Structure 1
């Protein structure tokens, strides 16, 4: 299979094309609910890739937490086999279209390069049955990434992005790589959380 015909290449081009189409209208921002409708309320795996990619784009305060909760809700909908419906407090959050379009163009280029190395293999790790452990993992990691601690979502999100990419490209080996990156990220997060707790307790003891 050539890189141009790989599933992930088609998916990323679809993402970019839809965002380009939205950018041609007069709107300058896209809500998260609008994003869900654009990509398809039942396109759970595709949207998990989209939000994990968008989580790499710098945003205003609270942006990372909003994306983490969005990721969690998408995974819950996937596990329940239901269309994705975001509550207004999250669904109405706006994303700058110009930034998303630029990011999607880069994603298409990167996907084309990665597709040269990623290919369908060990498909049982990307089957429909794999959606259950996949969804549970995404929910667990999203809970950690939602914590209001700077940089806590960086490495785990890379792992989720690799898993989402590999799921769409039916690449079980890529899923394993993503799992390793996610585990590494969670280990780093645990160290950060423990360090923050230690500093907090030390500060309280000093004040006392």
Structure 2
């Protein structure tokens, strides 16, 4: 009996992505075509990366497709899909690959601690529930909130790594990070709202 090939690690998948012959722009549809057979984890990781090492102006461009991916996970779909208009959204090839190239060695170091465990956090039912979490985090990430993009992107990145490597401990860490991210963003929003209210009161007092 032939044993199945070993699962490829996240850093290997990122290296494949870097070595692929991309066009002048990297479109979301191109990402789906290239990574569709690697399911949702890799797509979420690649879309979260530009917000972990910030690329200005991309939070909405990557947040909206992540909302859709989260909805598809929650619906139990096995392959990512994007409508034509969203699939045509593109990023500058050199800038996007530059960010992925900077992140690659960090992913390689992190994945030394990744291994299959706590399968209850990576099985089919768990993935559907994680889809709901992704929707919330990606929705927050899409908003123009000062300092509000990084925390949810980190939470999504941890969950994505956990799904790729079938490591429920990292998924759990991503869920904890998600709670902290939402608390941080809420504090920022309330803080900015309070400051704006004080400013208005000062102007009209």
TM-score (norm 1): 0.83
Residues 114 and 167 in structure 2, CA contact (< 8 A), matched pair in contact too? yes
Counterpart position of 1:72: 67
Distance 2:151 2:6 in 1: 26
The CA deviation at 1:127 is 0.9
Matched, 1:142 2:138: yes
CA RMSD of aligned residues (A): 2.3
Counterpart position of 1:21: 20
Gap change, CA 1:159 and 1:15, over 3 Å in 2: same
Residues 140 and 152 in structure 2, CA contact (< 8 A), matched pair in contact too? no
Gap change, CA 1:8 and 1:112, over 3 Å in 2: farther
Residue of 159, 174, 178 corresponding to 2:155: 159
Q: Report how many residues are paired.
A: 198
Alignment of 1:1-208 (within 5 A): 7=7, 9=9, 11-23=10-22, 27-40=23-36, 43-61=39-57, 63-80=58-75, 81=77, 83-86=80-83, 88=85, 90-208=86-204
The unaligned stretches of length 5 or more in structure 1 are none
The unaligned stretches of length 5 or more in structure 2 are none
Gap change, CA 1:155 and 1:83, over 3 Å in 2: closer
